Amino acid sequence: MSTNTTTVSWLAHHRPLSRASLRLFCFPYAGGSAAIYRSWTESLPWQVEVCPVQLPGRGSRIREAAFTQMPNLVENVAKDLSTYLDKPFAFFGHSMGAIISFELARLLRHEGAPEPVHLFVSGRSAPQTPCDHLHTYDLPEQEFIKELRRMNGTPAEVLEDPELMQFMLPLLRADFEVIQTYTYVDEPPLNCSITAFGGLHDDEASRDSLEGWREQTTGATTLRLFPGDHFFINKVQPSLLRMISGELYQHDLLNRD
């Protein structure tokens, strides 16, 4: 289990908005950073304060050891984001980030802390869905890189740069270990509404497995599908952000004044 000491903010590319009525915390996929969400503020309603979460081992936190276990990661996120929970908030997470946000919501409930008003989960099967994928985080280097190519989430220019890959591999292995060793524990459903996003050609999260998110809340659940594979969010961002805005308005989560 990694040992981490927070030396910088857990938020990056964050623009505080005093008039905002809701904070949207955004969690990255495996190998990703807060930079994925740096432009979201420009496309979301003015009432939304986008809070991209920077996990250790990347971006401004490159010198910190990445976590390798979900419980330890979520506990540290909860502790260090606690000062930002003083107004209504929602979570968005893609793939690994979806499970981080889900487990964080459950941990906040356990601790009697404020809970999210909405959960956006993207590119990830419902957590209770049986997983038949083999562990890949500990594969020999060339086999691990082959798996990265198959998933189509790492740019070809990165995969073909030996020096850059040596830099990236420890982070990717750590993130894959976080998600591939994750164990779902049955608990009562959340109270917040959930929107699940998926790619029509995503081999990692089928429509049926996304439907399973309905079991994780007593509130409303919506399923939205986009063209693309597992990393559809990188290609349909304008449509995705319009849909997020619509969902927030539909569930009456934004101040219209």
| Concatenated DSSP letters of the chain | -------S-SB-S----TT-SEEEEEEPPTT--GGGGTTGGGTS-TTEEEEEB--TTSGGGTTSPPP-SHHHHHHHHHHHHGGG-SS-EEEEEETHHHHHHHHHHHHHHHTT----SEEEEES---TTS---PPP-TTS-HHHHHHHHHHHT-S-HHHHT-HHHHHHHHHHHHHHHHHHHT------PPBSSEEEEEEETT-SSS-HHHHHGGGGGBSS-EEEEEESSSTTGGGT-HHHHHHHHHHHHHHTT-S---
Among candidate residues 95, 122, 125, 193, the one labeled active-site is: 95
Tell me if residue 206 is catalytic. no
List, by residue number, the catalytic residues: 95
